Structure 1
Amino acid sequence: MAVSLLRYLAGALALAAAGLAHAQAPATIRVDYLHSGNALSDTYAIERVLVEPLPWPGNLAQNLDNTDRGQNRVEVVDAKTGDLLYSRGFSTIFGEWRTTDEAIRMSRGFHESVRFPQQDKPVRVRILKRDERNQFSVVWSVDVDSAAPEVVRKQAPAPAPTIPIRVSGPSPNKVDLLILGDGYTAADMPKFEADARRLADHLFKVSPFRERAADFNVWGMAVPTQESGVSRPSTGVHRASALGSRYDIFGSERYVLTLDNRALRDIAQHAPYEFIEILVNNDTYGGGGIFGQFSTAAAGNDWANYLFVHEFGHHFAGLADEYYTSPVAYATGGARVEPWEPNVTALRDPAKLKWKRHVKAGTPLPTPWPKATYEENSRAYQARRAALRKANRPESEMSALFREDLAHTNALFSPAPHRHAVGAFEGANYEATGYYRSEMQCIMFDRSETFCNVCQDGISTIIDLYARAGGRK
């Protein structure tokens, strides 16, 4: 009891210290809405508008997002003049689901939220989506007056204390990362804090997070559950948890998300945050990441370090997966439109390659690599992986297979002429042909330990968007 009280007091003091410099920060407004539809069409409907318990954590000098990331964008404009006041790119779980086979057969609804600093005037909140030309267009808008009587202003108390993991300074000058735990019992709380600290420490050993560690605050919070772990329906395991995280999302045994956005936001609002990573208290390999929403990682897995960083790359910077031989939960075919993600390309015009500044003169585009040999080994590896899961073999055997596969890839790539070159290597974005990655190997391609140069640039751009005032000069 004494330890819990001390932790709560430490969290409260850290929150107070981090907030001193922005005592006059505006309130945080959240719009909760319902997004429903199928593969062919979708609709939106407002649910509620809330004033969150904590002030806006962001830098008001950086209200406009010019990174051109995400499948969607939220814009907040002056309701009278149309002047743009705030914008951010993001993607959604609905956006992934609508590419699944299920979305062809039926409609489904998803709860979503957007947050922004309170304005001193009525505003119009617009949701934009990329069209077939990859350009943003408005698909829904709603007028919001934060002074209206129906706005929710009183919240229930925080369901768990906020744990300061790393506090570098006032929130407006920093990126605020909130690590939430799911599937941790009251007795597991010391384990959650240890997991959160361990994985946050690892994140800041990986470039460019290592060099920009002073630009981050990291907070932790976990609402206790009755049983350890989260649901894994494919094996008959079902657990009740505050966030509702589970495996088997969209039929993929390794895909871990929560579909309960309202629960997620109602818990997260009690800590300063711009980004969220959920740690599930499980040993089975799994994770997921949605740009601008959240990411997940199985904290007890042997590959937890990799999972935490890889999935955070999706959520934080909108990085695309560069692998293409693993089965995924949604369809990926169709026209090869130039992706918005910074680390993959359709290479429609090599002379205009988006990471051209990293390419040395004389590097061929496309860039040769031992693709056929890699794919042959990968087919055998994927068959062994599927067999291990089907037989429900111990997780240690899966971890050993992952180590073997990485060692084989490293040995194959080591003598390749363009091993460390930046170019355009075919095979990325879940496709064997038509999409290209910038380097032969990267955390977004396999379970290696470093981000490629292009991914590092993509991450640094987002850090600058949130922490420029307190970051590099």
Structure 2
Amino acid sequence: MNFCLPYSATRRVLAAALACAVTLPVAAAFAAQAPAPATLRLDYLHTGNASTEQYAIERVVIEPLPWPGNMARTVDDTDRGVNKVEVVDKASGKLLYSRGFSTVFNEWRSTAEAEKVNRGFEESVRFPKPDHAVTVRILKRDENNAFTLAWSTELDPDAPDVVRKQEPSALRPIPIRVSGPSPDKVDLLILGDGYTAGEMKKFEATARRMADQLFSVSPFRERAGDFNVWALAAPTPESGVSRPSTGVHHASRLGTRYDIFGSERYVLATDNRALRELAQNAPYEFIEIIVNNDTYGGGGIFGQFSTAAANSDWAKYLFIHEFGHHFAGLADEYYTSPAVYQPSGARVEPWEPNATALRDPANVKWKKFVAAGTALPTPWPKAEFEAYSRDIQQQRVALRKAQRPESEMSALFKRELAHEEELFSRAPNRHAVGAFEGANYEATGYYRPQLQCMMFDRSEQFCTVCQDAISTIIDLYSRPAPH
């Protein structure tokens, strides 16, 4: 049953107004709380190449829903991301809000193409609407991994060019899991792309399945009560998203496609403005896009979004692995699959919590989990693993080149995982936390915490260090529920 009341600044009446615009569960997510600020979004352009970058304001928008976050945790102390946004009160200099994040631009600039051409990318930062003029600063890491100023701009939230009203959306978010008021919870929005109007029930069923699978894996399982999950999709004319390498081109609301940066398995949404205009119809802090495709693929950008092929035999792994990138800034720990990024040559200590250059073994970043007497670096059957993996990669390339059925690729991955399980079952350090060489797309010079993890292979658990890193982000966005 829906009901309608006029807008009011109080949460109690706001909940009723929201019920008119969206659904009762969305209204409930904002009910029984102190008044919250509006959500302000700064859309900007990020352009450049491998050596230069520029920023330019596109527009400033007040989104339809209030700020969903915890106003007691507005400053980010996790030290994650390639970039960080800071919102500073112009008059007093007080830091009002900050969050670490990464960008598609930053990934692109490490590709070979960025050495030759300039490109521009749309990006957004969202934060609680301030009461007065502010300075918005975008920071980036330097060669020593310290944050330095990349760009700043003055922003008046009451300026006449701020977009305050938009056309009402006919789309309604589906409540998948509502654990409590949004400011107390992590709000995850599952968006669908490549689903036709006749496939909306399929989308909802898939979103529910993906959420259930996420909360079957630690630490999400133990912290499920700290999450709200919503689902939303705009119908597309055809099923599935584009896969240009095979000649498949489909129109989609979010511009989601395979073959990003020339990698056949890399899937990203390419229309940031469309993404934000769709997502703003639900409370959210994190977004995962499920695509209505069978072909193995996905992607994840810390603090932006992640993607997963929902119909793949490996959909559970893809959804959770890519969410690990987006949610917690976890590094890829694998290194035998081809990567699109140019190796830097230097071995700078990664900011990601689950990879290290091991400059100081006695003080490895996850030292608290390393048992006394554990060798650092930690021995493992690396040569045998690499020999088998190289053969698998050759078979993988051959299958894609011949455009063989997806079932054959899935079978190949199953054989690979079975071989790894058997090989690692004989390893003396199978369950130890140490420093295992091979991570961050590099065979040497970078180390991962444990032999196996969802960030390394297609096994179904996060390692101890990754679980701890995920829990840190859950704490940043939620008031932990009783356990």
- The answer to whether 1:401 aligns with 2:412 is yes
Paired position in structure 1 for 2:16 = none
Paired position in structure 2 for 1:141 = 152
- The answer to whether 1:83 aligns with 2:83 is no
Paired position in structure 1 for 2:11 = none
1:12-51 aligned at under 5 Å gives the runs 12-22=23-33, 24-51=35-62
Q: Structure 1 residues 95 and 417 mapped into 2: Cα distance closer, same or farther (>3 Å)?
A: same
- The answer to whether 1:471 aligns with 2:481 is yes
Paired position in structure 2 for 1:56 = 67
Check conservation: 1:159, 1:267, Cα contact below 8 A.
Answer: no
Distance in 2 between residues matched to 1:38 and 1:234, nearest whole Å: 24
- The answer to whether 1:227 aligns with 2:238 is yes
Distance in 2 between residues matched to 1:156 and 1:415, nearest whole Å: 61
Deviation larger for 330-339 or 435-444 = 330-339
Amino acid at match of 1:471: A
Distance in 2 between residues matched to 1:353 and 1:152, nearest whole Å: 48
Q: Structure 1 residues 472 and 145 mapped into 2: Cα distance closer, same or farther (>3 Å)?
A: farther
Distance in 1 between residues matched to 2:417 and 2:480, nearest whole Å: 38
Amino acid at match of 2:282: A
Paired position in structure 1 for 2:295 = 284
Identity among equivalent positions (%) equals 72
Post-superposition CA distance 1:299-320 (Å, at most 9, x none)? 0000000000000000000000
Paired position in structure 2 for 1:460 = 471
Secondary structure of the structure 2 residue equivalent to 1:88: strand
Q: Report the RMSD for the aligned CA atoms in angstroms.
A: 1.2
Q: TM-score, normalised by structure 2?
A: 0.95
Paired position in structure 2 for 1:442 = 453
Shift of 1:390: 0.5
Post-superposition CA distance 1:435-456 (Å, at most 9, x none)? 0000000000000000000000
Q: TM-score, normalised by structure 1?
A: 0.97
Secondary structure of the structure 1 residue equivalent to 2:32: helix
Paired position in structure 2 for 1:69 = 80
Distance in 2 between residues matched to 1:157 and 1:329, nearest whole Å: 40
- The answer to whether 1:314 aligns with 2:325 is yes
Paired position in structure 2 for 1:99 = 110
Shift of 1:259: 1.5
Distance in 2 between residues matched to 1:68 and 1:78, nearest whole Å: 22
Q: Which 4+ residue blocks in structure 1 deviate beyond 6 angstroms? A: 8-11
Q: Structure 1 residues 55 and 10 mapped into 2: Cα distance closer, same or farther (>3 Å)?
A: closer
- The answer to whether 1:245 aligns with 2:256 is yes
Paired position in structure 2 for 1:296 = 307
* Stretches of structure 1 lacking an aligned partner (at least 5 in a row): 1-7
Shift of 1:40: 0.6
Shift of 1:471: 3.1
Distance in 1 between residues matched to 2:215 and 2:338, nearest whole Å: 30
Paired position in structure 1 for 2:185 = 174
Distance in 2 between residues matched to 1:159 and 1:388, nearest whole Å: 43
Q: Structure 1 residues 332 and 158 mapped into 2: Cα distance closer, same or farther (>3 Å)?
A: farther
Secondary structure of the structure 2 residue equivalent to 1:35: strand
Paired position in structure 1 for 2:388 = 377
Check conservation: 1:10, 1:163, Cα contact below 8 A.
Answer: no
Paired position in structure 2 for 1:3 = none
Shift of 1:414: 0.3
Distance in 2 between residues matched to 1:242 and 1:69, nearest whole Å: 30
Shift of 1:23: 6.0
Amino acid at match of 1:356: K
Post-superposition CA distance 1:373-428 (Å, at most 9, x none)? 00000110000001000000000000000000000001000011101100000000
Amino acid at match of 2:223: R
Amino acid at match of 2:66: P
Secondary structure of the structure 2 residue equivalent to 1:62: coil
Paired position in structure 2 for 1:113 = 124
Work out which of the residue numbers 309, 332, 335 in structure 1 matches 2:346. Answer: 335
Post-superposition CA distance 1:69-118 (Å, at most 9, x none)? 00000000011221111000000000000001110000000000000001
Shift of 1:9: 8.9
Post-superposition CA distance 1:140-170 (Å, at most 9, x none)? 0111111111100001222421100000000
* Stretches of structure 2 lacking an aligned partner (at least 5 in a row): 1-18
Amino acid at match of 2:481: G
Paired position in structure 2 for 1:4 = none
